[in-house]
Structure formats: C-alpha cells, structure tokens
Structure 1
Amino acid sequence: MKNDHAAAPENTAPRRNFYGRRQGRPLRENRKRLVEELLPRLAVRLDGVALDPATLFPGKTGVWMEIGFGGGEHMAAQAAAHPEIGYLGCEIFLNGIASALAHVDAGKLANLRIYPEDVRDLLDVLAPASLDRLFLLFPDPWPKARHAGRRFVNQKNLDRVAELLKPGAEFRIGSDDPTYVGWVMMHMSRRKDFAWTAERSGDWLNRPADWPASRYEQKAIKQGRKPHYFIYRRI
C-alpha cells in the first residue's frame, strides 16, 4: 500500500527526547513533491565531525541561521533580501518544512539550506564563531512551569549560542507569550557575553524594518497578543 505521507531525509545523528509534533495533516501533492525532490538537494546531513557552515555557501559573505522557522516566511524573505548571505534554516515539523520549500521554490532562492531534524544535534557540531546572525522567532513557550526545562532559552543553550556567534553578531529572539518574554529577559540579563541593543521601549515593542513578519506573528497580532522583538549583540 502506498504511503501517503512524505518523509524527510534520514539523518545519522542519534535521536534525543523531542517534545512536539513531527508532522500534522497529510501533505498536498505539490508539497509532497517538494519534500521528495527539493528537500534532498537542500538538506544538511551530519557525519559526526565539526561543520563549518560557511562551506555550505561558497562565495557568500556570512552565514545566518534560524532555529524553528515555522512556515518559512521570515526565512525566505531574509534570504531573498540578502543574496550575499548563506541562510541555514532548522525545523523538524514536516508541514513547516514543506511550506518553506514552497517559498524557496517560488522565489528561486539559491542561498538557503535546511536542517530537518533536532537543532540540538546541529548545534553540537557547528564550528565555534561560525555564525553572523541567529534567529529564534516565536518558539514554543512551554508555558507550564513543569515544562520550563523544555524551553530553548536556558543557560546551557545560551552558552552554546555564545560559542557559535562571532563577536558583534546578532541574536534575535521574538515572542508574543508574556511568560516567555519574561523568561528571555531574565536569562539574557544574566549574560556578560551579550549586550541588549534596545535603548527605548519602541526598540523591542515594534518590529524592526529589517525583520520580516511571519505567518505566526501575524496570527498572534490578530488574536490580540503583543509580540516582542529582542536583539542582542555578541560581545
């Protein structure tokens, strides 16, 4: 019997505990085709050795990475606006990957690669000081206190982020969840290796001009939630 669900390319990294869905509703035929044909050409696979992401983008002037790109709207817009940059997007939810592939296909984007597995495996092998910008936009806030350990923003992950970002590189975080906003501010205020660039409230309550909106962000605004936009600079 034919399997109606497209599958992402296999990865050799061992699986960790992962909380969340890997796939939602069945993919439409055109999205299945993109997963089967385009994703293998863009997917980053790990072979257990250190990876300098610059090698994925010959001739580019820098590398930006997005953790959990959702439907890929922000990622595709940034890649299109900055063809001189190599853009590495990470997402494990297959429906989001398929949506992002549709954006890549429509925009004929040639400066974008995708890691379709648990981002922690990728973070483990990336070379130090190899990223020029990192995005963590509207991650799952895990609002219940007993689930706080599942939030990406924690001191262990932030230690690794600090290692991966070049001096002067930006770490951008977006959230519309009040609990997560407070969580980010608490954890980032403890860091001596990051400087918050905001000088006034408008700097983090209004989306910067060079920060393309995502579908999730627009949905949050329509539902009455207020997004916050944090930009931290690696010292």
Structure 2
Amino acid sequence: MLHGRRAGRPLRKDQRARMARDLPSLEIPLAALSDPAALFPAPLAGLRLEVGFGGGEHLATEAGRFPDVGFIGCEPFLNGVAKLVERIDALDLANIRLHPGDAGELLDALPPACLDGADVFYPDPWPKRRQRKRRFLSEGNLDRLARALKPGAPLRFATDIDDYAGWVLARILRSTDFTWEAGEADDWRRPFPGWPSTRYEQKAIREGRPPAYFTFRRG
C-alpha cells in the first residue's frame, strides 16, 4: 500500500542524529500491539490515530492539548517523521508513538475497538483515474478503520480536492459502518476545533481550493 518515495531531501545532520537517538523509543513494535495503552508511560484517557501526519503540526498540537490521551501517528515519508520527532523533542511530548510505514499494516496489528478517534488529513488525492485505487480511504481501509474504532468514535477527514471529497463521501454513504451526521454546509466548511492551519492549507486557499472538513461516526 506504499506508493511513491519514502524520502525527499536528505535529512540534515542534526535530524539524522535525533532520529537515531529518539525514534527507537517512539516507534511502535507491530508484534506487540495487543495492548496499545502499554506503549505509553502513563494511564490514558483515550487513544487516537492520525494517518499521514505530514510534518506533524496537527498531531503535536493535539498531543499538547490533550496530554492524557495517547496519540499514534503513521507516516511513511521519512522527512515528515523527522520533523515530528523534532517537535516531540522540542515540546517534551510523552504521549505520541509513531509508525513510520504503511498505515494498513498498523491497522491490521491493532486490537479491535481500541481507538477513540482517527484522523486522515490531506491524503494524497492520486488524481488520475488509474491511480484512484491508491487512495487511502478506500472500502478496504474503511473496513480496517471500522474494526479498530470504538462504536461512536469519530473518523475525521480533510481535503482540498473536490473529486476526492466526493469519492470518499460516496464510499461513506455506502458503508454500513460509518455515518455522516452533517446537517448544513457549515458542518464541513468549518475547521475542526483547535485546528492549526498549515502552510499547505494556506497555499491551497490562495490557489482557490477551499478545504472541506468531514466528521464521520463509527456505528
């Protein structure tokens, strides 16, 4: 399920040193996920997942807002992992654990109904028709997410690509596992509470691609 490059520009010397020092203690051992809460040093009030965290801006912000919640971040792009590891160090965050690889294998390793929420923000839209099978929120991955989420837990999705939004909504509306509870347009036009807009999002807005923010609910 991994497509494209796993690294862009070479990591700086300090990034390589920090990754070598910190990533081993942050990385999740997939073979030992029968109790995800045991990955964290303190008792948890909940467990959340972010798939494709990019540079980690949102994940670090949420971890700071909710220090009693455990956060699992999944990102195959090593430059993004390095940026988040740097943020974790700078902000002294103890409630983030990372999987620098395929989100599908992570979801398959998680026990059923262990997640209190999952976020998928600005995933690669794979815009060409022949590429759409690579889109993350496919029927297969919605099944994986449904298995890992607790009943009633939210699945949040943000995109600036109209076609991808419609593509995902079509699959959600066909799903027997998720519902979309939006009652009016502002329900998907307004950012999520505490949302830290990124440079990518601001560029999309300048280029005339207004973001949409969807919340689906596990049945």
Is 1:119 matched with 2:103? yes
- Misfit runs of 4+, over 4 Å: none
Would the aligned equivalents of 1:78 and 1:212 in 2 still touch at CA under 8 Å?
A: no
Residues 73, 215 of structure 1: 8 Å contact kept: no
Q: Is the 8 A contact 2:104 2:144 kept in 1?
A: no
**Does the alignment pair 1:96 with 2:80?**
yes
Secondary structure of the residue aligned to 1:173 is strand
Matched residue type, 1:178: D
SS in 1 for 2:153: strand
Answering whether residue 60 of structure 2 is matched by residue 76 of structure 1, we say: yes
Structure 2 unaligned blocks of 5 or more: none
Alignment partners' CA distance in 2, 1:32 and 1:222: 34
Aligned AA for 1:121? E
Tell me, what secondary structure is at the counterpart of 2:151?
strand
> What's 1:190 paired with?
174
1:50 shift after superposition: 5.1
Instruction: Quote the residue 1:227 is aligned against.
Output: 211
Question: Can you list the C-alpha shifts for 1:57-91, whole angstroms capped at 9, x where unaligned?
Answer: 34011100000100000000000000010000001
Aligned to 2:39: 56
Q: CA deviation at 1:222?
A: 2.9
Secondary structure of 1:20's aligned partner: coil
Structure 1 residue 212 corresponds to structure 2 residue 188 = no
Give the counterpart letter for 2:185 in structure 1.
Answer: S
- The TM-score with structure 2 as length reference comes to 0.94
TM-score under structure 1 length normalisation: 0.88
Could you tell me whether the CA contact under 8 Å between 2:51 and 2:103 is conserved in 1? yes
Residue type at the aligned position of 1:52: D
Structure 1, unpaired ranges of 5+: 1-16
Q: C-alpha distance in 1, partners of 2:203/2:96?
A: 25
Q: Does 1:33 align with 2:29?
A: no
Which residue of the other structure, out of 149, 159, 172, is the alignment partner of 2:143?
Answer: 159
**Aligned residue type for 2:12:** R
Identity, in percent, stands at 47
Distance 1:196 1:218 in 2: 26
Pick one of 179, 201, 204 that aligns with 2:163: 179
For residues 165-223 of structure 1, what are the alpha-carbon distances to aligned partners after superposition, in whole Å with 9 as ceiling and x for unaligned? Answer: 00111100011111101111111111222121322101101212233323422332233
Q: Size of the alignment, in residue pairs?
A: 218
